[in-house]
Chain A
Amino acid sequence: AQKVTQAQTEISVVEKEDVTLDCVYETRDTTYYLFWYKQPPSGELVFLIRRNSFDEQNEISGRYSWNFQKSTSSFNFTITASQVVDSAVYFCALSERYTGRRALTFGSGTRLQVQP
């Protein structure tokens, strides 16, 4: 069965520090999709990125970057020069193309607190 593990329950950093959020997944499918979402205090989840299993290129978007490694089943998220506005809960999620149900499976989330 598909599973997503975010071992870091809570991380606290000081503004301008770099921080990496870990995500490890399990799947039996050969085609799958990985996602990261941000949940600010308002509660609504905001989409950050989607990767498919055939694309292992790392991606950078401003201060955000993602490292996808199939060999270790990991899809880690790094925030460079963190800011107070980055404080939120971050979720990693997985969906399978051919097996499993047609819905995302989420990890338990990592709460990031960025102190000024």
Chain B
Amino acid sequence: DGGITQSPKYLFRKEGQNVTLSCEQNLNHDAMYWYRQDPGQGLRLIYYSQIVNDFQKGDIAEGYSVSREKKESFPLTVTSAQKNPTAFYLCASNALQDSPNEKLFFGSGTQLSVL
């Protein structure tokens, strides 16, 4: 079945540690996105990528980094510079490059907590 796979489902980070959240899609989608969800604040855009080897900052990119070396993969690294990383992270993708009207498909999310 086609879809978006996020792993792990739960992740714990120690102080000063970088952690990487995985996102893989087999939908042949060009564009991929990372959103952060905090209670009562909805989804906020961290980074997005419309094509391999290119990505743009969203609203809350500070303390995060991404790469897009392959069309299928868009990993998100939460660096030690992100002082409040506890949140639910959602990866998404959609069909066409440069088409914000295309609906997003979402993964099942990763809950990141700080130890």
Contact = CB atoms under 8 A, between A and B. Distances in A.
Contacts, number: 67
B41 A108 contact: yes
A51 to B, nearest CB: 10
Contact of B40 (A9, A95, A97, A102): A9
Q: Which of A91, A97, A102 has the most CB of B within 10 A?
A: A102
Indicate the member of B56, B100, B104 with the most A CB atoms within 10 Å. Answer: B100
Contacts of B43: 91, 106, 109
Given A106-B43, A108-B42, A97 B90 contact: no
Interface residues on B, range: 20 to 34
B108 A97 contact: no
16 contacts: A35-B104, A37-B106, A44-B107, A47-B104, A47-B105, A50-B103, A91-B43, A95-B100, A97-B101, A103-B33, A103-B45, A104-B33, A104-B100, A106-B42, A108-B42, A109-B42
